[in-house]
Amino acid sequence: MKRWGRKHLLGLEGMSAEEINFILDEAVSFREISERPLKKVPTLRGKSVVMLFFEPSTRTRASFELAAKRLSADTVSIASSSSSVVKGETLLDTARNLEAMKVDIIVMRHSMPGAPHMLARHLRAAVINAGDGAHEHPTQGLLDLLTIRDHFGSFDGLCVGIVGDIAHSRVARSNILGLTSLGAEVIVCGPPTLIPRDIDRMGVQVTTHLDELLPRVDALNILRIQLERQGRSLFPSLREYSRIWGVNNAVLDKADKKLLIMHPGPVNRGVELAPEVADGEHSVILDQVTNGVAVRMALLYHLSGVAEMERADEAAA
Amino acid sequence: MKRWGRKHLLGLEGMSAEEINFILDEAVSFREISERPLKKVPTLRGKSVVMLFFEPSTRTRASFELAAKRLSADTVSIASSSSSVVKGETLLDTARNLEAMKVDIIVMRHSMPGAPHMLARHLRAAVINAGDGAHEHPTQGLLDLLTIRDHFGSFDGLCVGIVGDIAHSRVARSNILGLTSLGAEVIVCGPPTLIPRDIDRMGVQVTTHLDELLPRVDALNILRIQLERQGRSLFPSLREYSRIWGVNNAVLDKADKKLLIMHPGPVNRGVELAPEVADGEHSVILDQVTNGVAVRMALLYHLSGVAEMERADEAAA
Amino acid sequence: MKRWGRKHLLGLEGMSAEEINFILDEAVSFREISERPLKKVPTLRGKSVVMLFFEPSTRTRASFELAAKRLSADTVSIASSSSSVVKGETLLDTARNLEAMKVDIIVMRHSMPGAPHMLARHLRAAVINAGDGAHEHPTQGLLDLLTIRDHFGSFDGLCVGIVGDIAHSRVARSNILGLTSLGAEVIVCGPPTLIPRDIDRMGVQVTTHLDELLPRVDALNILRIQLERQGRSLFPSLREYSRIWGVNNAVLDKADKKLLIMHPGPVNRGVELAPEVADGEHSVILDQVTNGVAVRMALLYHLSGVAEMERADEAAA
């Protein structure tokens, strides 16, 4: 595979192992740019990238902005509230307006599942899903996959445990879709109320006990408990959650080997993850962040049309 | 006319046809930049543009930012609340501070009519009015004029209808001032409570019936009903408004010809404008948006002092 | 002194006269860049600067952004609320995340005294304190010092009066630390309730009467009364404050000579400072703002590692 044929990045659903590995390979070569003393290349000079965030975000937006700026793209950031009911038509009008300003890529976060897909059906500009409700968060999925591949070399025979609120997590969904496409085994683990009934249709196994999970996995992806959302209703209490599903060193002793520790951030220290584990030697939480910039640079490059142009130039030469 | 003599862009009031056509001509040549694969020129490299927005804005700010960035200017965006009563002196101090930071252009939106004029009297930096209360929105006016000129070639014998809340609309005011300066005829139309009594002093005709308006005009500029402001008090109800002054295909059948359909956005679909018309073949709503970036690029160039410098260089050579 | 050895700028506490004068000298040479028609140099191209502001700020953030952009650095701005109680660990996690994105400099404002010091202990990225609670605001201190040095040439035999809410002012603290390090005399003046009891340990003299202060000083640094904080409780009323500690022309007549008038902005006109004085011929308030950009450019340069690299290149050549 020498090129990436997709026009948008809406989700990892339906993405082949070849496609995923292609973009991870590209991310590795872009990652090197951020390690240089001068972290800047002219690749996307003259391209316009808009961050259209209908939900608050600090890290993901900063990561996309840095990725775009290190590629010399122009960026404009728009933060809107989705608290007022936003009709689909209005959202589309907003996006069409940005397109009429000759924007090349719209990076979008929205509380409504499928919102970026709707835009993609109507726009010529490329759309990147930066999180759509509880549906998908494909760049997070890709950066998690890259972090796992960095460590284990391949996904053959690998088993990844995902721990926490599976039902409401777009991170969990994108990870499951990517990992199963790449041939890894996935086991989800969490309170019964936070695991969708038909999750096995996604090709994963289910357990509600960390004790059962730990001996079977190579890596743990521990989800953030969204204190502001379900904290009070879907499980008895935070203390209870932490006691049963929180990951600390004592819990990890039940594994046969040292597990790779991942978390999409920000960590609720002492709730889903003990500080000793978050900062421990098997934690790759900050590597995930570093890989996030790299994955986003690779995607911005391949969705901007510049890769295409460069190929055409080479073919003509 | 080979140069644009104004130091600021405060409004279309008092602007000659020659001046307006000069800046529209310039906008046409800048528009081409946004059509290129690489939308960037070094024209304003080393110039600093500040967006000083005391009212929320997504589209206008994004349009100005993209315009500035495509010209390689540095931009800083400041969003302030004007809900707390802001004294004139404090506003002036804020602007003087920005000037002391050696900012070249201040793009300003404020709820107080005349706020940018006050700044312009005291600053050496150039001031662009991006909307001052219900007074003027000159860059919107210019982009509307460019869109009309694109379509009809000239303003001779042209008649433009402006429909909606004339009384509270800075878009209406800037359009009226520009169109009458260019020799076009203007008819305003809307609920009697939303048309200022002495509007005829601006050289426009008035009607409160779409039936009367439609046979006489070539283009319709349909204003946004500001749901958040007058919705409840100044006319019976939205449904009532929509039934009487809303523009849909059935209404347009009363015109003798196909009318050019304009709207400053964002459209309240189904209120002042039916989706079938907004998305219809005579709608130029998205062309307006495209022209907005072009008009703003032309203005930033001519107000930055760079045009002046380039002329001096040419003269010396 | 040919180089600046510090990795962070956390405060003026403990900074030698030589160090301060070095950075002021550097600021003078960077100041020239902002006076050019094209205010841009490629010095920090490929460096990433994050503005991490947990308290609202317009001027300081704009000044840092312009400084960074005129040096061609990439900037990302993050505004967070510190109203929700932010644990130290969470703050550190945020900063570690930014560092994992390969950010070179974090410019940080936080309501918690010592917050930037905590980050600096744990990060490899450089940290600039843009205000930490009532503790320090070192770039404001440096720009004040530069403005004084511009005017008087040196600090020998100089006496500076600082008037206002000494107890809650990070500006006062940084000024006192810098001025005493440079050998100037400092007298603080304000309501007894707003002067810390042990302030004399910082090497300053104290008076509660402007009449006593004025004959002894060469320059006045008049602090902003934070209406939103102490206005009601720590002194009788604003009118009372203004009558006793407000500086106007009548008050200044009590000085033997013309005093240099400084204020960190924004001025509450008619409260702590009369408009006639703020805009008078001895006011250098806007020079302070201009110097702010210059001081910040010098600091960004020396904390970015670029100065170091350039020296190594020279040594190798």
- Which ipTM value was assigned to this complex? 0.94
Which of A54, A65, A101 would best serve as a mutation to test chain B binding (most B beta carbons within 10 A)?
Answer: A101
Structure confidence by residue, pLDDT tens digits, B42-52 = 999 999 999 99
- Measured between beta carbons, which residues in chain B are less than 8 angstroms from residue A103? 66
- Measured between beta carbons, which residues in chain C are less than 8 angstroms from residue B305? 37
Structure confidence by residue, pLDDT tens digits, A208-227 = 999 999 999 999 999 999 76
Cβ separation of B62 and A45 shorter than 8 Å? no
Greater confidence (A312 vs A285) lies with A285
> SS3 for B24?
helix
Cβ separation of A102 and B35 shorter than 8 Å? yes
Question: What is the sign, positive or negative, of the torsion defined by CA atoms of B245, B247, B249, B252?
Answer: positive
Residue with tokens 């402007």: C210
Cβ separation of C47 and A38 shorter than 8 Å? yes
Cβ separation of C101 and A69 shorter than 8 Å? no
B38, B59, B70: residue with CB nearest A97? B59
- Separation of alpha carbons C250 and C254, rounded Å: 8
* Confidence check: pLDDT of B313 > 90: no
- Nearest-by-CA chain A residue for B42: A46
**Mean of pLDDT values over A169-186:** 98
* Confidence check: pLDDT of A107 > 90: yes
Structure confidence by residue, pLDDT tens digits, B189-228 = 999 999 999 999 999 999 999 999 999 999 999 999 976 5
* Burial class for A98, CB neighbours closer than 10 Å (0-12, 13-18, 19+): buried
Structure confidence by residue, pLDDT tens digits, A195-212 = 999 999 999 999 999 999
- Separation of alpha carbons C21 and C142, rounded Å: 9
**Chains near C (3 or more Cβ pairs under 8 Å):** A, B
**Mean of pLDDT values over A47-51:** 97
Low-confidence spans in chain C with pLDDT less than 50: 82-86, 230-231
- Separation of alpha carbons B284 and B290, rounded Å: 10
Cβ separation of C39 and B47 shorter than 8 Å? yes
Return the pLDDT at B81: 62
Q: How far is C65 from chain A (nearest CA, A)?
A: 15
Q: Are C44 and C304 in contact (CB under 8 A)?
A: yes
Read off the pLDDT band of A232 (50, 70, 90).
low
User: Which among B172, B86, B82 is positioned nearest to B136, based on CA atoms?
Assistant: B172
Q: Are B105 and B75 in contact (CB under 8 A)?
A: no
* Confidence check: pLDDT of B87 > 90: no
* Confidence check: pLDDT of B105 > 60: yes
- Separation of alpha carbons C274 and A136, rounded Å: 58
Say if A74 is an interface residue toward chain B (CB within 8 Å).
yes
C78, C87, C102: residue with CB nearest A34? C102
A37, A58, A290: residue with CB nearest C80? A58
Q: How far is A169 from chain B (nearest CA, A)?
A: 29
Cβ separation of C69 and B90 shorter than 8 Å? no
User: Which among A280, A286, A290, A273 is positioned nearest to A238, based on CA atoms?
Assistant: A273
Structure confidence by residue, pLDDT tens digits, A62-93 = 999 999 999 999 999 998 764 444 455 688 99
Cβ separation of C90 and A293 shorter than 8 Å? no
- Measured between beta carbons, which residues in chain B are less than 8 angstroms from residue A74? 39-40, 66, 69-70
Which helix (H) or strand (E) segment holds residue A5: the answer is none
- Nearest-by-CA chain C residue for A289: C100
Return the pLDDT at C137: 98
* Confidence check: pLDDT of B83 > 50: no
Return the pLDDT at C231: 45
Residue with tokens 């924007």: A103
- Separation of alpha carbons B188 and B186, rounded Å: 7
Structure confidence by residue, pLDDT tens digits, B115-124 = 999 999 999 9
Structure confidence by residue, pLDDT tens digits, B73-82 = 999 999 876 4
Which of C72, C74, C81 would best serve as a mutation to test chain A binding (most A beta carbons within 10 A)?
Answer: C74
A78, A96, A101: residue with CB nearest B293? A101
- Measured between beta carbons, which residues in chain A are less than 8 angstroms from residue B70? 46, 48, 74
pLDDT more than 90, % of chain B: 84
Q: Distance of CA A217 to CAs A155, A243, A249, A259, Å?
A: 12, 21, 16, 7
* Confidence check: pLDDT of B184 > 60: yes
- Nearest-by-CA chain A residue for C45: A38
Would you list the DSSP string of chain C?
--S---S-B--STT--HHHHHHHHHHHHHHHHHHHSSS----TTTT-EEEEEESS--SHHHHHHHHHHHHTT-EEEEEE---SSPPPHHHHHHHHHHHHHTT-SEEEEEESSTTHHHHHHHH-SSEEEEEEETTTB-HHHHHHHHHHHHHHHS--TT-EEEEES--TT-HHHHHHHHHHHHTT-EEEEES-GGGS-TTGGGGT-EEES-HHHHGGG-SEEEEPPP-TTTTTTTSSS-HHHHHHHH-B-HHHHTTSSSPPEEE--S---BTTTB-HHHHTSTTB-HHHHHHHHHHHHHHHHHHHTTHHHHHHHHHHH-
By mean pLDDT, which of B132-141, B302-311, C39-48, C142-151 is the weakest?
A: B302-311
Return the pLDDT at C120: 97
Instruction: Count how many pairs of residues, chain A against chain C, have C-beta atoms within 8 Å.
Output: 68
Q: Distance of CA B158 to CAs A261, B20, B145, B288, B307, Å?
A: 70, 16, 12, 18, 33
Q: Distance of CA A220 to CAs A13, A177, A215, A246, Å?
A: 21, 16, 11, 12
The per-residue b/e assignment along A273-291, b for 16 or more CB within 10 angstroms, e otherwise, is: bbeebbbbeebbbbbbbbb
- Give the tokens for residue C198: 């042990």
- Measured between beta carbons, which residues in chain B are less than 8 angstroms from residue C70? 46, 48, 74
pLDDT more than 70, % of chain C: 94
* Confidence check: pLDDT of B139 > 60: yes
Return the pLDDT at C205: 98
The per-residue b/e assignment along C189-225, b for 16 or more CB within 10 angstroms, e otherwise, is: bbbeebbbeebeebebbbbbebeebbeebbbbbbbbb
Which residues numbered 163-222 in A keep a CB inside 8 Å of some CB on B? Answer: none
Phi and psi at residue B90, to the nearest 5°: -65, -45
- Nearest-by-CA chain B residue for C63: B101
- Separation of alpha carbons B33 and A274, rounded Å: 53
Distance separating the N- and C-terminal Cα atoms of chain A = 21
pTM of the model: 0.95
- Give the tokens for residue B246: 């809303």
- Measured between beta carbons, which residues in chain C are less than 8 angstroms from residue A58? 78, 80, 94
* Burial class for B133, CB neighbours closer than 10 Å (0-12, 13-18, 19+): middle
The strand pairing partners of A74, in sequence order, are: A48
User: Which among A144, A159, A249 is positioned nearest to A213, based on CA atoms?
Assistant: A159
- Measured between beta carbons, which residues in chain A are less than 8 angstroms from residue B65? 76
Which residues numbered 30-69 in C keep a CB inside 8 Å of some CB on B? Answer: 34-40, 58-59, 62-63, 65-66, 69
User: Which among C186, C26, C53, C48 is positioned nearest to C111, based on CA atoms?
Assistant: C53
Cβ separation of A69 and C89 shorter than 8 Å? no
* Confidence check: pLDDT of B170 > 80: yes
C89, C96, C101: residue with CB nearest A63? C101
If phi over 0 gives left and psi between -120 and 50 gives alpha, with beta otherwise, what is residue C265?
Answer: left
Read off the pLDDT band of A177 (50, 70, 90).
very high
Structure confidence by residue, pLDDT tens digits, B240-263 = 999 999 999 999 999 989 999 999
The one-letter amino acid code at A182 reads: L
Which residues numbered 223-282 in B keep a CB inside 8 Å of some CB on A? Answer: 265-267, 269, 275
